[in-house]
């Protein structure tokens, strides 16, 4: 999820803006007694001698406007959040919308506390009405997302749990941690059945291949490893990234691995379909992996992107960000359809159920929230 | 000694200073902050202010302030690892108000040594040095010493590459009668939430300028044109 795109920042002023800026500079020079500079400036910028009163103090005002705008935006967002809490039907009536258009609505159905540190990842169980959260408090917690009940805690890791994943049957959960290990948990007995050692640093991502026979992990040690579930052995190590490999995911037909890294590269193993990535540059990008091209960008978040998920209906992308919001993006029109103020702090993770109308988010505020879609 | 690194002696016997230092080392190893704050209680308590939570926390910070620290203590902490594993864009330093046994010159010397060591450890980070805020309800000799320190730092640091000195305008906290209000500093030394609002504004602006990251003001990597449009049409 963490890729930094290098983009040139160029400030482009229109002719009108340039003239206005010159006049504001002239007023500033005049007001502050820089007479010689003013005369020369007016000559070189080819400006009339007298300065329109409307530019009085304009440069200083514009100079401080960023701070003023930020404060205003903060206030407005707080007011909007309050207003939305009182009026939570929002949008056309439920029966007039198809399930493919059901999106999460505030306020949250449940806000679940229990973790004693930031929540790093939240995922749905593929079969049961269970969701699982991982946290920097080194535990994994299970919750019923329909009732909001806490079910149990899986203990065993000795440092922050960074990522969790189910195999497609939901019989096994894989977890990886800053303690450099990967654990496999039996989801019937809720036991840790294997601990995989081999990475030399924080393991930040883990996922099953579609067959469930292998797990793939990525680490701050710059490698990706493939592990055989039956034996617990590491059968392959992929090198190639020059920095921490933040995340790795497997394509649904098993043919392709996607990984992203602090070295700002993404790699696809072979030609294939589409990949969605989110980055610390605040952008979400859609890529055609076969040609390695960015098809479009989704812009709007104010901070690092931390989680992405496709809406099962295929029309939307949902994202979670350090700007404390959950956003819904219309893929066809490439725009931010809706923004929810989701948490009190960075939102670190988001998942959407493949068939039931629920979205879950996890946050540095140590809570897990369940959102109903309608 | 103001410029010789020294840890705080555990006179009381509860080891709190070392516990905080150890916690900072763990945080420095595990996290990826873009802004690191380091200094005394003025830095430490900043993280509980609403301004910090709204404007500074979103920038991905770590706060390594410890109350009562003097220049030689902050120096020791930097030399002993607190800036080792991180790669911040900006480092914010504020220290000196607790160096009661040292002259203004010595405090300046201590701060300059911290600047030197910090730039050595983090040559590509932008360093913001904050002036020391005034203290005491009424005019007093400590305020004069602080004013001398700030004036000297301004002279010594202007022109230093990668260092920005943010001076404290006396009028920020001192009114026309020469008094500091308890509404800004509840004990005439430590700031209230209102006090921090005033103190943090120039700091926040500078941090954003240096890291080229303006929160809540449209995604900066693209779309700067629409921002210019908005700002240019903002009526005064």
Residues of B in contact with A283 (CB under 8 A): 219, 221-222
Which pLDDT score is estimated for A90? 52
> Above 60 in pLDDT, residue A131?
yes
Measured over the CA atoms of residue A114, residue A117, residue A123 and residue A125, the dihedral's sign is negative
The answer to whether residue B187 is catalytic is: yes
> Above 90 in pLDDT, residue A76?
no
Confidence of residue B56 (pLDDT cuts 50, 70, 90): very high
Q: Please answer yes or no on whether A7 and B236 come within 8 Å at the CB atom.
A: no
pLDDT, one tens digit per residue, over B123-171 is 999 999 999 999 999 999 999 999 999 999 999 999 899 999 999 888 9
> Above 70 in pLDDT, residue A66?
yes
Q: Please answer yes or no on whether A9 and B212 come within 8 Å at the CB atom.
A: yes
> Above 90 in pLDDT, residue A70?
no
Instruction: Give the integer Cα–Cα distance in Å for A121 and A306.
Output: 10
Which pLDDT score is estimated for A93? 57
Phi, psi of B197 (to 5 degrees): -55, -45
Residues of A in contact with B58 (CB under 8 A): 302-303, 322-324
Confidence of residue B58 (pLDDT cuts 50, 70, 90): very high
A-B interface: how many C-beta pairs under 8 angstroms? 79
Q: Please answer yes or no on whether A302 and B219 come within 8 Å at the CB atom.
A: yes
Query: Taking residues B49-66, what's their average pLDDT?
Result: 94
> Above 80 in pLDDT, residue A4?
no
The answer to whether residue B21 is catalytic is: no
Q: Please answer yes or no on whether B217 and A66 come within 8 Å at the CB atom.
A: yes
Which pLDDT score is estimated for A288? 84
Q: Please answer yes or no on whether B219 and A67 come within 8 Å at the CB atom.
A: no
Residues of B in contact with A117 (CB under 8 A): none
Confidence of residue A11 (pLDDT cuts 50, 70, 90): low
Query: Taking residues A10-32, what's their average pLDDT?
Result: 84
> Above 60 in pLDDT, residue A270?
no
Q: Which residue of A has its CA nearest to B217?
A: A70
Cβ neighbours, 10 Å, residue A100: 11
Give the CA angle between residues B123, A219, A263 to the nearest 5°. Answer: 45
Which pLDDT score is estimated for A303? 93
Mutating which of A3, A13, A16, A17 best tests the B interface, going by the most B Cβ atoms within 10 A? Answer: A17
> Above 60 in pLDDT, residue A104?
yes
Q: Name the token pair of B69.
A: 């620290």
Which pLDDT score is estimated for A98? 83
List, as one string, the DSSP characters of A105-145: -SSPSEEE---SS-EEEEEE-SSSSEEEEEETTS-EEEEET
Which pLDDT score is estimated for A96? 63
Under CATH, which number does the domain B16-234 receive?
3.40.50.1110
Which pLDDT score is estimated for A13? 77
- Under an 8 Å CB criterion, which residues of A touch B? 5, 7, 9-14, 16-17, 20, 54, 57-58, 61-62, 65-67, 69-70, 73-74, 160, 178, 202, 281-283, 297, 299-304, 322-324, 345
Which pLDDT score is estimated for A49? 77
> Above 70 in pLDDT, residue B233?
no
> Above 70 in pLDDT, residue A207?
yes
Q: Yes or no: say if B102 and B144 are a contact pair by the CB < 8 Å rule.
A: no
pLDDT, one tens digit per residue, over B202-232 is 999 899 888 878 877 655 443 344 444 444 4
> Above 80 in pLDDT, residue B199?
yes
Which pLDDT score is estimated for A91? 53
β-pairing verdict for A140-144 and A150-154: antiparallel
Q: Please answer yes or no on whether A74 and B220 come within 8 Å at the CB atom.
A: no
Instruction: Give the integer Cα–Cα distance in Å for B145 and B102.
Output: 10
> Above 90 in pLDDT, residue B236?
no
ipTM for the predicted complex comes to: 0.82
The answer to whether residue B2 is catalytic is: no
Confidence of residue A291 (pLDDT cuts 50, 70, 90): confident
Of B60, B214, B236, the CB nearest to A66: B214
Which pLDDT score is estimated for B215? 78
Query: Taking residues B31-49, what's their average pLDDT?
Result: 96
Mutating which of B89, B222, B223 best tests the A interface, going by the most A Cβ atoms within 10 A? Answer: B222
Q: Please answer yes or no on whether B219 and A62 come within 8 Å at the CB atom.
A: no
Which pLDDT score is estimated for A135? 98
Gap from B86 CA to chain A (nearest CA, Å):
14
Q: Which of B190, B193, B194, B211 is catalytic?
A: B190
Length of chain A: 374
Give the SS3 label for residue B39: strand
- Under an 8 Å CB criterion, which residues of B touch A? 30, 54-55, 57-58, 60, 201, 204-205, 208, 212, 214-217, 219-225, 228, 230-232, 234, 236
Percent above pLDDT 70 for chain B: 92
Query: Could you tell me how far CA A303 lies from the centroid of its own chain?
Result: 9
Where exactly are the structural domains of chain B? 16-234
Percent above pLDDT 70 for chain A: 92
Higher pLDDT, A24 or B225: A24
């Amino acid at each position: 999820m963490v890729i930094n795109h290098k983009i040139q920042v160029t400030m482009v002023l229109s002719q009108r803006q340039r003239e206005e800026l010159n006049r504001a500079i002239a007023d500033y020079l005049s007001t502050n007694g820089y007479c010689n500079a003013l005369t020369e400036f007016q000559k070189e910028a080819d400006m009339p001698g007298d300065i329109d009163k409307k530019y009085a103090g304009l440069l200083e005002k514009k100079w401080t406007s960023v701070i003023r705008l930020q404060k205003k935006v903060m206030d407005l967002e707080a007011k909007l959040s309050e207003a939305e809490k009182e009026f939570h039907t929002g949008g056309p009536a439920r029966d007039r919308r198809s399930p493919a258009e059901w999106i999460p609505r505030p306020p949250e159905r449940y806000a679940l506390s229990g973790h004693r540190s930031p929540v790093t990842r939240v995922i749905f169980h593929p079969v049961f009405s269970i969701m699982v959260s991982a946290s920097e408090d080194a535990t994994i917690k299970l919750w019923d997302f329909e009732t909001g009940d806490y079910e149990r805690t899986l203990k065993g890791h000795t440092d922050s749990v960074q990522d969790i994943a189910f195999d497609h049957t939901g019989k096994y959960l894989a977890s990886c941690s800053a303690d450099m290990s990967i654990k496999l948990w039996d989801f019937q007995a809720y036991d840790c059945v294997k601990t995989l050692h081999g990475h030399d640093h924080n393991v930040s991502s883990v996922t099953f291949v579609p067959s469930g026979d292998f797990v793939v992990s990525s680490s701050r040690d710059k490698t990706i490893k493939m592990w055989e579930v039956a034996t617990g052995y590491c059968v392959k190590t992929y090198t190639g990234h020059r920095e921490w490999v933040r995340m790795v995911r497997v394509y649904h037909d098993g043919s392709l691995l996607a990984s992203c890294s602090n070295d700002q590269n993404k790699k696809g193993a072979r030609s294939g379909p589409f990949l969605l990535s989110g980055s610390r540059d605040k952008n979400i990008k859609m890529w055609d992996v076969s040609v390695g091209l960015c098809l479009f960008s989704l812009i709007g978040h104010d901070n690092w992107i931390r989680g992405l998920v496709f809406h099962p209906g295929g029309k939307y992308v949902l994202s979670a960000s350090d700007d404390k919001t959950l956003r819904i993006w219309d893929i066809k029109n490439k725009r931010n359809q809706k923004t929810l103020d989701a948490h009190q702090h960075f939102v670190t993770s988001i998942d959407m159920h493949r068939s039931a109308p629920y979205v879950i988010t996890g946050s540095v505020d140590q809570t897990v929230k369940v959102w109903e879609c309608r | 000694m103001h410029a010789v690194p020294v840890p705080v002696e555990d006179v009381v016997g509860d080891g709190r200073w070392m516990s905080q230092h150890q916690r900072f080392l763990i945080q420095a190893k595990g996290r990826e902050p873009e802004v690191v704050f380091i200094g005394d209680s003025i830095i430490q308590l900043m993280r509980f202010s609403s301004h910090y939570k709204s404007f500074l926390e979103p920038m991905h910070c770590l706060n390594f302030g410890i109350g009562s620290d003097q220049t030689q203590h902050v120096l020791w902490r930097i030399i002993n690892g607190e800036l080792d594993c991180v790669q911040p864009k900006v480092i914010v330093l504020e220290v000196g108000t607790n160096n009661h046994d040292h002259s203004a010159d010595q405090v300046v010397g201590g701060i300059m040594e911290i600047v030197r060591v910090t730039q050595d450890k983090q040559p590509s980070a932008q360093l913001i040095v904050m002036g020391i805020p005034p203290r005491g309800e009424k005019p007093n000799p400590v305020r004069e010493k602080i004013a001398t320190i700030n004036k000297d730092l301004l002279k010594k640091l202007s022109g230093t590459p990668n260092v920005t000195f943010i001076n404290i305008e006396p009028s920020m906290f001192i009114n026309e009668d020469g008094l500091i209000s308890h509404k800004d500093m509840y004990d005439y030394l430590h700031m209230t939430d209102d006090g921090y609002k005033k103190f943090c504004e120039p700091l926040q602006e500078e941090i954003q300028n240096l890291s080229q990251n303006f929160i809540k003001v449209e995604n900066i990597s693209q779309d700067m044109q629409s921002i210019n449009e908005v700002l240019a049409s903002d009526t005064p």
